[in-house]
Chain A
Amino acid sequence: MIGVLAQASTTDFDIFVQTFFKATALGSLYSLLALGFVLVYKSTQTLNFAQGAMALVGAWFLSLVFIDWDFPARWLPGPNWLHWIIALLVAAAMAAVMGMAIEKYTIRPMIGQPLFSMAMITLALEVILRTISFDAVNLTTRSLGVPWGTRIFMLGGARVAWSYIAATAMALLAFVAIWRFFKTRMGIAMRATSFDQEAAMAQGINVSRVFSIAWASGASLAAFAGVFASMSPWPSGGTANRDGAFFVFRALPAVVLGGLDSVVGALVGGMIIGFSEIYAGQYLANYTGVLGVGYQQVIPYLVMLVGLLVRPYGLYGTVEVRRV
C-alpha cells in the first residue's frame, strides 16, 4: 500500500508510456525468435520447434563465456559493457555452430521426408536441448552478468528498464542486419533457394551451404532472444530460467500470425503479439475475476486465432505456403 502511495505522482499517461516500452521490448523478443524461425522455414521448409530451446542454450553459452571463462576480460582491458558485448557475440557464434551441426546431422539426412516428420525431429531436439540446459548444466542459477542489471531510467514520470531499450535495439539491429544480408550474393542465393530450390541448384547455388547458413542464423537469433529474454525485469530476472522455455514458446503465435515465410511478418507478428499481451496485462487486470488469472498468457493465442480467421495464411504469408 505504501509503495503505491509513493508512486502517486505516476499519471495514467506515465503508465501508458511505461507499458509502451515494455510492450515494444516483448514484441522485439518475439520478433527475434520469429525471425529465426522464418529464416529456417523459408530455406529448409522445416518448422523448427527447437527455436525456444536454442534460445535457452544461447543464454547458457553467454553465461559460460562471460562468467565461467571470464572471456574476454581475462585478456582484454576495457569497460565491462564492451566485454559483455564481445562475449555475447562469441555466444551467438557458438549458437551458430550448434545450428549448423543440428542441420547437418539431424535435418539434412531427413531431406525429402514429410513436413510432419521433420517437425517431430525438431520437437525431439527441443526436449533434448531443454533437458541439457536444466539438468546437465543447471541453467536456472546461472548469471548472465548483464551490465545494466536491473537499472531503470525515468522518462517524465514513467519508469523504463534499460533491458527494454536493449531488447528493442537488439531486434532492430538484427532486422537491419538480415535485411542487408539479403542483398548480398549469399543472401540472394538464399532467397532464390527458398523460392525455387531446383532452379537455384541449376544456377550452381550450393544449397547445402544455404541450409547451413539459414540454421546458423536461426540459432544465433535464438541466442540473442534467449539472452535478452532472460534479463530483469522479465520474470526470470537476470538468470536463464526455466520460465524462459514457456516464454519462448509463446513466440509461435507471432510466427503463425505474421506468416511462416515472411520476414516482415515476423516483425509485425511479434509486435502485435507483444503489444496485445502487455497491454492486456496492464489494462484488463481488473477483470481477472472474469478472465481468469494468467489470462495474458492466453492472449497471444487468441490474437493469433482471430488473425487466422481473417487471414488463414498469416498477415504476410504467401500463396505458396497454402500448400503446406
Chain B
Amino acid sequence: MLEIANLEVVYNEVILVLRGLSIEVPDGHIVALLGANGAGKTTTTRAITGLLDMHDGKVTKGSVTFDGHRIDDDDPSAIVRSGITQVMEGRRVFAELTVDENLITGGITNTDRKALAVAHDRVMTMFPVLAERRKSTAGYLSGGEQQMLAIGRALMADPKLLILDEPSLGLAPKLVAQIRDTIVEINTAGTSVLLIEQNARMALSIANYGYVLETGKVVMDGEAEKLLKDEDIQEFYLGLHGDEGERKSFRDVKHYKRRKRWLS
C-alpha cells in the first residue's frame, strides 16, 4: 500500500508545485490520477520514485510511505528494490540499446537469474511484437512498440506497485485499448497500479478509484464509476468541452523537447 500524506514539493527552493497532496494506492488496486497539464502529476511520480533530486526538487512537508516504510528520503535504486517501478512520461526507452538490453536495465536490481528469466518470458508473452525484435535497436521501434518496451522494462523488476505516467499519450485508439488491456492484465496478476492519465475515460474505465489533481492539490476523488458520471469531470476531462485534437498535438510537441540531464 502506497500512502502519500500532505505532500508538499518545491522546485529550485521557490516554486511550490505540490500543496498538501494526499493519495492512497491500496494493494491490488488500480488508482487513476487525473489532471491537466502542469497539475503536478509527474512531480508526484518523481516524489514517489526518488527522482526529485535531479530536478532540484525537494519534499518540504508530508510523507510518502510504502508498505509501512517512509521512502521519501530513499534513493531511486532503493525504491525500485522495495517494489516500485515506473513507466516514465514520454517512454524514455534507451534508444541506443537493443530491446533485450533495455529489459536488462529494467531488471538491474534483480540479481536472481531465475527470476529474471521468468520476468523476461512474461514480457515476451505479453508483447509478442517485442519477442520478434529482441535484438533490434529500441530507437527504431514504433511509438506503440516503445511504449510496450517501457512497460516491459518496468515489469522486469517484478514490482508490487507500477506507476504509469501517461502511457496512452500519442498512441492510436487501437493501441490505447491494447495498453489498457495490458494494465488490467498486470493488475490481475497482483501488481497495484497508479495510472496517471489525461485520457480520463480510459483511466477511469479500468480504475477502482480516482483522484483529480489541480495545481498540486486533490480537488476531487472517488470511486472510478462515480467520477466517470460526474459532470465536471465529463466537461473537463472527457473531451465534451473544447477540442481534444488540438490539445493532443500541442502536447505531442512538448514531449519532443530535449531530455534533461543533470550532469551537463
| Interface, chain A (partner B; CB < 8 A) | 44-46, 111-112, 115, 185, 188-189, 191-192, 195-206, 323-324
Contacts and interface: CB of A to CB of B under 8 A. Distances in A.
Contact of B263 (A44, A191, A192, A199): A44
9 contacts: A188-B104, A191-B97, A196-B92, A198-B259, A202-B49, A203-B153, A204-B80, A204-B157, A323-B258
A203 B94 CA distance: 11
B260 A191 contact: no
Contacts of B76: 201-202, 204
B39 interface: no
A111 B261 CA distance: 11
Nearest to A205: B108
B108 A185 contact: yes
A196 B264 contact: no
B24 interface: no
Of residues B92, B105, B259, B262, which shows the largest number of chain A Cβ atoms within 10 Å of its Cβ? B105
Nearest to B139: A195
B95 interface: yes
Contacts of A202: 49, 51, 76, 80, 85-86, 88, 92
Given A112-B263, A115-B264, A204-B157, A199 B81 contact: no
A196 B94 contact: yes
Nearest to B259: A196
Contacts of A198: 51, 54, 88, 92, 259-262
A45 B260 CA distance: 13
Given A45-B261, A45-B264, A199-B94, A185 B104 contact: yes
Contact of B262 (A46, A111, A195): A111
B172 to A, nearest CB: 24
List of 8 A-B pairs having minimum Cβ-Cβ separation, nearest first: A204-B80, A204-B109, A199-B92, A201-B76, A204-B77, A45-B263, A192-B105, A203-B105
B80 A197 contact: no
B96 interface: yes
A277 to B, nearest CB: 32
Nearest to A111: B263
Contact of B51 (A44, A196, A201, A206): A201
Interface string B61-105: 000000000000000110111000110100011111100011011
Contacts of A112: 262-263
A111 B264 CA distance: 8
A154 B90 CA distance: 61
B186 to A, nearest CB: 17
A288 B67 CA distance: 77
Nearest to A110: B263
A46 B263 CA distance: 8
Given A188-B97, A191-B94, A195-B94, A200 B105 contact: yes
Nearest to A203: B105
B95 A195 contact: yes
Nearest to B100: A188
